[in-house]
Structure 1
Amino acid sequence: MPGFLDLPLELRNHVYELLLGQELEPSFRGVMVVSEQYVKNDLPLRCFRSLLRVCRQINCEFEHAIQHLVASKQLDYTLDITFSHGRPYFSLTWIRFPSLSPTINHLSINVDLRTREPLRDGLTESSMPREGELTHLLEDSGKNFAVQLFDYIAILLKTLATLLSHGNSNFRVLYTEVVTLNFRTPTKLILPIRSGLHNDTQYTRRVHVDKASAQSLHETMQDTLKATSQRFKAFNASECDRLFPLIQIGSLRFATEGEVWGEGHNLVLAHDDFQWLRY
């Protein structure tokens, strides 16, 4: 019976493409502590990574397949991050994660904002946030959503760099061409018509907030994100050689429902914080 290496290279490359393009099964995870170990545990590292250990030839061919993905601007990571009112943590769901690579074409993060989840003991009027309480998530304080968001991105990139450096003495730079932070329309929980049952949680549903509230919340989110990113310090570009590994973002874009409204260029991760490159 012929082995994998007995197949023509064209067929092997097709297998690599199928593996790299395979869709993820969404897995909703709550994030209470942002650390390299926790972030690493949440990464959807594929079982096909074991292919890299089969033999030198397959390792080389698979690496070429990843490089081809990068060259064709198709190596994209996508994840959803959800901030819920009344929760001391956020949640994330990985949507797309093809493979580890020192160059990432696009890291897309969809940011959801929503009212608190129903309580285990059932849903009551007191468990629902009052009008305007959703904005507490966005206040410009040490625990606002923008700080948590950038902290997570920083640890995520550090974790990827650590994984890439294992067994690779040539690794020096992790470069992400574009990072997009995309705000989605905030949602609220709709109370059910009383069924008389002890727990009505299963009868709830989540809908978009009204347009006026969505616009107000998006404006607050934008202002908070702008204020946080504007506080990033400047880093002298001539000192990049001192950073190891060099973790750089070419373009940071801010969007609402896919429409870009702001953009900054050339960020580096230095001293555990993002800083704007100064030339």
Structure 2
Amino acid sequence: MPGFLDLPLEIRNYVYDLLLWEELDKPQFRGVMVVKEAYIKNDLPLRCYRGLLPVCRQIHSEVKKGIQHMVASKRLIYDMTMTFSHGRPYFSLTWLRFPALSPTINHLSIAIDLRTREPLRDSALGPFIPHEHELAHLLEDSPESFAGQLFNYIPILLKCLANLLSHGNPNFAVLYTECMTLNLRTPTKAVGSSGNGFNPISMCRRVPVDREEARKLHATMQNTLKAKSKGFKAFDARDCDRLVPLIQVGSLRFATEGRVWAEGHNLVLARDHFQWLRY
């Protein structure tokens, strides 16, 4: 019976493509209360192609070439959603696309969902609707704001990816993300089921907030993101050789519903925080 390597290279490449381009079967919505590398690694939707890498040197080389082809064609894209709920003490995470581990990531796309008036518990004795000051605390500039949580999670995510890439590979030195986009989506609010009116006990679906409320919420969130990014320190580019591995982001973009409204260039991860490269 012929083995896998007895098949023509064209067929083997087709198998690799099927594994690398396969969509995530069922994206899972996970609550994140503690941001640690072990938990982040556990939530990564690592793909089944990785089982081929230790089979033999030839298959390892062929799979790696398939990943390099994805990078060259600008299609190695990580896509995820982070959901922040007004009234809940954690954010939620959903991976939508995670094709392969690679030292070069073409695009890290993070959609930011905001859920307003999210009940913490549903109980006939005491339904809990969060106060407006809790929403302000989530959106306005502070270490506990959504932006603070974002820029706490993303560096550890990139460090986790770098550690996975360096495992068994002494030549790994750089993890480069060409573009990272943080995209604000239209906030949603909870409403009651049909026939029950606005009953917090029976909330079962979410709808977009009205346009004016969305505008105000987005304005606050944009200001917070601007303040957070302006607070990044400067890092001397001549000292990059001291960062092992070097974790760099070529372009950081802020967008609302896909429309980019701010952009910065050349971030590095130094001392567990993003810093702007100074040349």
Matched residue type, 1:65? G
Structure 1 unaligned residues grouped into runs of 5+: none
2:119–2:127 Cα contact (<8 Å) kept:
no
> Residue 137 of structure 1: CA displacement?
1.2
For residues 201 and 2 of structure 2, the distance between their equivalents in structure 1, rounded to whole angstroms, comes to 58
Matched residue type, 2:245? P
Matches within 5 A, 1:1-279: 1-24=1-24, 25-122=26-123, 127-129=128-130, 134-192=135-193, 200-201=201-202, 204-279=204-279
For residues 277 and 123 of structure 1, the distance between their equivalents in structure 2, rounded to whole angstroms, comes to 54
For residues 242 and 12 of structure 1, the distance between their equivalents in structure 2, rounded to whole angstroms, comes to 40
> Residue 117 of structure 1: CA displacement?
4.0
> Residue 127 of structure 1: CA displacement?
2.5
For residues 200 and 18 of structure 1, the distance between their equivalents in structure 2, rounded to whole angstroms, comes to 45
Matched residue type, 1:274? F
Stretch moving more, 14-23 or 186-195: 186-195
2:251–2:266 Cα contact (<8 Å) kept:
yes
2:87–2:119 Cα contact (<8 Å) kept:
no
Q: Aligned to 2:252, what secondary structure does the other structure show?
A: strand
For residues 117 and 7 of structure 2, the distance between their equivalents in structure 1, rounded to whole angstroms, comes to 53
For residues 53 and 2 of structure 1, the distance between their equivalents in structure 2, rounded to whole angstroms, comes to 20
For residues 227 and 124 of structure 1, the distance between their equivalents in structure 2, rounded to whole angstroms, comes to 41
Could you list the runs of 4 or more consecutive aligned residues of structure 1 that deviate by over 2 angstroms after TM superposition?
115-136, 191-195
Stretch moving more, 178-187 or 130-139: 130-139
> Residue 125 of structure 1: CA displacement?
8.9
For residues 161 and 129 of structure 1, the distance between their equivalents in structure 2, rounded to whole angstroms, comes to 38
Scaled by the length of structure 2, the TM-score of the pair is 0.94
Q: 1:150 to 1:62 in 2, by over 3 A?
A: same
For residues 261 and 23 of structure 1, the distance between their equivalents in structure 2, rounded to whole angstroms, comes to 30
Q: 1:133 to 1:242 in 2, by over 3 A?
A: closer
Q: Aligned to 1:251, what secondary structure does the other structure show?
A: strand
For residues 123 and 83 of structure 1, the distance between their equivalents in structure 2, rounded to whole angstroms, comes to 25
Stretch moving more, 132-141 or 47-56: 132-141
For residues 39 and 75 of structure 1, the distance between their equivalents in structure 2, rounded to whole angstroms, comes to 20
> Residue 15 of structure 1: CA displacement?
1.1
> Residue 142 of structure 1: CA displacement?
1.6
> Residue 56 of structure 1: CA displacement?
1.0
> Residue 193 of structure 1: CA displacement?
5.3
Matched residue type, 1:180? T
For residues 161 and 259 of structure 2, the distance between their equivalents in structure 1, rounded to whole angstroms, comes to 28
- The alignment-based identity, stated in percent, is 69
Matched residue type, 1:44? P
Matched residue type, 1:89? Y
Q: 1:31 to 1:164 in 2, by over 3 A?
A: same
Structure 2 unaligned residues grouped into runs of 5+: none
Scaled by the length of structure 1, the TM-score of the pair is 0.94
Q: 1:12 to 1:191 in 2, by over 3 A?
A: same
2:121–2:128 Cα contact (<8 Å) kept:
no
> Residue 129 of structure 1: CA displacement?
3.9
Matched residue type, 1:155? I
1:188–1:206 Cα contact (<8 Å) kept:
yes
Q: CA RMSD in A?
A: 2.1
- Measured against aligned partners, the alpha-carbon deviations of 1:201-225 in whole angstroms (never above 9, x if no partner) come to 4x62100000000000001000000
Stretch moving more, 78-87 or 115-124: 115-124
2:255–2:262 Cα contact (<8 Å) kept:
yes
For residues 81 and 163 of structure 2, the distance between their equivalents in structure 1, rounded to whole angstroms, comes to 23
> Residue 3 of structure 1: CA displacement?
1.8
2:243–2:270 Cα contact (<8 Å) kept:
yes
